[in-house]
């Protein structure tokens, strides 16, 4: 199954992706992790994106798209993926669909981890991610989520590919809920209409 996780910073995408990856035996592909890895290894791509990531701004679409193409196609050919962090805007979703559809690797189900904003700020401040995660950067990342990612939810909802779970529950409860929803989606996908 080809799954996209959508959630605000702090919504628990990373935790859920790991749990789901184990439960379903699918690789977890995180745009944020891949970008941070480039930054750490000081690759050319890493130095091009460092500033955006530190500010909490989105890096240019073409950079993420090109970085993800190979791993996504490979995972899809191997049985599916759990994609986390990309697509992240309506434009990325539309653009990715155009490219992915021809290869048969497009997202089949988008899982929205829904967490109230007050909880998010609290979680993010507690977690920190080093000195970059000041309260200003956290608030900015939440604003970018609200302005750029939230409109993408309607895109998947219109396509009837969106499922939503309450992400404020304990992680194990959230993953149980997600797995149950995915089971229903799997049944639907395997029933020809
Ligand atoms: P979080 O889940 O905490 O919001 P991520 O780990 O998904 O953060 O991403 C960290 C940063 O990487 C983002 O703030 C952004 O700068 C960059 N990034 C990740 N995915 C994308 C994307 N699809 N498009 C543009 N920038 C991205």
Which of 59, 89, 127, 167 should be mutated for ligand 1, with most atoms under 8 A from CB?
59
- 10-38 pLDDT, tens digit per residue, is 999 999 999 999 999 999 999 999 999 99
Confidence bin at 122 (pLDDT 50/70/90): confident
Q: Which pLDDT belongs to residue 136?
A: 87
> Which pLDDT band holds residue 129 (cuts at 50, 70, 90)?
low
Q: What is the DSSP code (8-state) at residue 10? A: T
**154-190 burial, b for 16+ CB within 10 Å, e for fewer?**
ebbeeeebbbebebbeeeeebbebbeeebeebeeeee
Average pLDDT of the chain to the nearest whole number: 94
State what percent of residues in the chain have pLDDT above 70.
Answer: 96
Could you give the residue ranges of the DSSP H alpha helices within the chain?
Answer: 13-24, 31-41, 44-55, 61-77, 90-103, 117-127, 135-144, 150-158, 171-190
Which amino acid residue places its CA nearest to atom 2 of ligand 1? 9
Q: What is the pLDDT of residue 140?
A: 92
Distance CA(175)–CA(179), nearest Å, equals 6
What does the pLDDT read at residue 125? 84
Measuring CA to CA, how many Å separate 180 from each of 40, 79, 147? Answer: 37, 19, 30
Q: Classify the C-alpha dihedral 84-85-87-90 as positive or negative.
A: positive
> Residue 193's pLDDT is what?
63
pLDDT for the residue 130 = 58
Q: Tell me: the pLDDT tens digits for 43-95? A: 999 999 999 999 999 999 999 999 999 999 999 999 999 999 999 999 999 99
In this prediction, residue 108 has a pLDDT band, given cuts at 50, 70 and 90, of very high
6 neighbors 112 (Cβ within 8 angstroms)? yes
Ligand 1 interacting residues, C-beta cut-off 6 A: 9, 13, 31-32, 35, 52-53, 56-59, 64, 85-86, 88, 92, 141
52-82: b (≥16 Cβ within 10 Å) or e: ebeebebbebebbbebbeeebbebbeeebbb
pLDDT computed for residue 90 by the predictor: 97
Query: Pocket of ligand 1, candidates 5, 12, 30, 31: which has the most ligand atoms within 8 Å of its Cβ, to mutate?
Result: 31
Give distance in angstroms: CA of 177 to centre of ligand 1.
25
What number is the average pLDDT over the span 104-117? 96
SS3 165: strand
């Amino acid at each position: 199954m080809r799954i996209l996780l959508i959630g605000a910073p702090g919504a628990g995408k990373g935790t859920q992706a790991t749990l789901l990856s184990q439960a379903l035996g699918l690789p977890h592909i995180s745009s944020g992790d891949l970008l941070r890895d480039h930054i750490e290894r000081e690759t050319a791509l890493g130095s091009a994106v460092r500033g955006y990531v530190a500010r909490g701004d989105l890096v240019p679409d073409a950079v993420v798209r090109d970085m993800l193409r190979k791993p996504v196609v490979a995972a899809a050919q191997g049985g599916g993926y759990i994609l986390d962090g990309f697509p992240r805007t309506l434009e990325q979703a539309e653009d990715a669909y155009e490219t992915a559809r021809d290869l048969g690797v497009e997202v089949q189900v988008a899982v929205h981890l829904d967490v109230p904003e007050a909880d998010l700020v609290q979680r993010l401040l507690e977690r920190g991610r080093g000195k970059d995660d000041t309260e200003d950067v956290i608030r900015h990342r939440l604003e970018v989520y609200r302005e750029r990612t939230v409109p993408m939810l309607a895109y998947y909802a219109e396509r009837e590919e969106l499922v939503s779970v309450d992400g404020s529950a304990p992680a194990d409860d959230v993953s149980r809920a997600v797995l149950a929803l995915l089971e229903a989606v799997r049944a639907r996908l395997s029933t020809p209409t």
